[in-house]
Structure 1
Amino acid sequence: MLVLLPPSEGKTSPARGPVLDLDALSSPGLTPLRRKVLDALVETSGRPDAADVLGVGASLGDEVARNVRLHEVPTAPARRVYSGVLYAAAGLDRLTPAARRRAQESVRVVSGLWGVVTPEDPIPAYRLSMGTDLPGVGALAPAWRSALAAELDDAADGRLVVDCRSAAYLAAWHPPRSSDWVAVRVLREVDGVRSVVSHHAKHTRGVLTRHLLTRRARPPRDAAGLAAAAGELVGDALLAVELGP
């Protein structure tokens, strides 16, 4: 099983920890492109129009300014840095040792800055979305596509891929046909009518992720097994899994 998550917009800045060392991250084949994107982000974030280029509002000026210091600010495991709604529900930083090992083996966060990281990779808090057209690099999703294919295609070969990413991050890497790829949608059923849920979708994907990591049964191996595991969570919100095209 390979669980793919998007990064959270909300991040917790580590108060202490080592500074960023790209060579300490998993997937070393991505290091050259990580360095290129990182350097471009640091430079861009120091520009007067940085907020506009990065597509963020003026209220996030402090986060953009922090990007300038990414080489010198503290890092922490990604499971502590990502702190949005999905990650609060997934609780990757509140797992038993056994579940944490399962997460390290199976969870991957697809990122516009790092390409892909594991929950234990030490990273700083940053502000950059995959939908950004970054000066010096270009549109990030196409820029990462071939590197992520080289890194993830073999890892996904023959495995169940539980895809909780949004469209922007899906554009950076599509699982190969040799995988059993399942895109996770969140639906609500009212009076027999199902509709897509958007407001609570991140939370529910986080709940599903945690369930897959902590349930006693073996991890599902195919779409049918995933549907059965998701069915264990059915309550007032109906989880539906949909095979990717």
Structure 2
Amino acid sequence: MLIILPPSETKAHGGTQGPLDLGSLMFPELNPTREGIGKLLAALDPEEALGVLKLSQKHRAEVEANTLLFSSPTLPAVERYTGVLYDALAAPTLPDSARERLAISSALFGVVSATDLIPHYRLSGTSRLAGATMKSHWGTALRNVLTQLRESGELIIDMRSGAYQNLGKVGGPGAITVRVECVLPDGSRKVVSHFNKSYKGQLARVLALTPQPAASIADVATCAEAAQMRVEVRGQELVLVV
């Protein structure tokens, strides 16, 4: 079982480990693309980068960090990303066995494991580099490795947002996806937007900590219900009802 989380625009600064080592990352087949995107990103002058990445001057320190992409200190990916989902996940309290079930999507790295060591950077799935979308930069590379993983029998629980799924969807029958809906006073449903990240973080934590990894969407639903979550199964989509 591999749970793929969305990244976060907000990230912890600094690091406790040495510089980026592409060879140590999950899915080494992605390294040519990672290196190509990384070099384009690091080569951007900070002033130019603000325009390319559509950021204001208050983010200047982040685009300056991009220029040090290959030399700055690193942190485990699950500690690098911050925000609502990662608060709910409470990664610092997860044992290594739970972290091994987690991966994180990224415009720069495609997908990395929770324990992969990555630097601080700023790049979004909707960004453009050298005039091309991130989807164009990734081509079929990410799709191929995720599809091969699924075909090997691994259950993939894909919690990525649409922008990151578009960088490389799982081919074939696909992965389990997660949707969060709230019930309105009239009984109708509405997709939860911002706080869906918190619910996904909670579900990811439950699944990462379960003694036996889920092998099907029925198993995922059972784990969620055991944690007092209300869920519905719609094909290969798990709906959290809040």
TM range (shorter): 0.7 to 0.9
Q: Give aligned pairs, total.
A: 235
How well do the aligned residues superpose, as a CA RMSD in angstroms?
2.1
Contact 2:78 2:104 in 1 (8 A): no
Q: 1:243 to 1:183 in 2, by over 3 A?
A: farther
Question: Whole-Å Cα distance in 1 between the matches of residues 233 and 54 of structure 2?
Answer: 31
Any idea what SS the aligned residue of 2:223 has?
Answer: helix
**1:74-101 superposed Cα distances (whole Å, 9 cap, x missing partner):** 11111211112111211233212xxx22
What pairs with 1:90-239 in structure 2 (closer than 5 Å)? 90-96=89-95, 100-104=96-100, 106-135=101-130, 138-157=132-151, 158-179=153-174, 181-191=175-185, 192-216=187-211, 218-234=212-228, 238-239=230-231
Any idea what SS the aligned residue of 2:122 has?
Answer: coil
Any idea what SS the aligned residue of 1:12 has?
Answer: coil
Structure 1 gap segments, 5+ residues each: none
Any idea what SS the aligned residue of 2:177 has?
Answer: strand
Deviation at 1:242, TM superposition (A): 4.5
Deviation at 1:240, TM superposition (A): 4.8
Q: 1:102 to 1:178 in 2, by over 3 A?
A: farther
Question: Whole-Å Cα distance in 2 between the matches of residues 203 and 50 of structure 1?
Answer: 30
Question: Whole-Å Cα distance in 1 between the matches of residues 137 and 19 of structure 2?
Answer: 26
- Equivalent residue letter for 2:106: S
Q: Which range moves more in the overlay, 61-70 or 140-149? A: 140-149
Question: Whole-Å Cα distance in 1 between the matches of residues 234 and 196 of structure 2?
Answer: 14
Contact 1:187 1:239 in 2 (8 A): no
Q: With structure 1 as the length reference, what TM-score do the two structures score?
A: 0.87
Question: Whole-Å Cα distance in 1 between the matches of residues 233 and 102 of structure 2?
Answer: 18
Question: Whole-Å Cα distance in 1 between the matches of residues 136 and 216 of structure 2?
Answer: 29
Contact 1:186 1:239 in 2 (8 A): no
- Equivalent residue letter for 2:142: L
The percent identity for this pair of structures is 34
Q: 1:242 to 1:175 in 2, by over 3 A?
A: farther
Structure 2 gap segments, 5+ residues each: 238-242
Q: 1:239 to 1:197 in 2, by over 3 A?
A: farther
Contact 1:2 1:156 in 2 (8 A): no
> Residue 20 in 1 paired to residue 20 in 2?
yes
Q: With structure 2 as the length reference, what TM-score do the two structures score?
A: 0.88
Q: 1:95 to 1:102 in 2, by over 3 A?
A: closer
Any idea what SS the aligned residue of 1:126 has?
Answer: coil
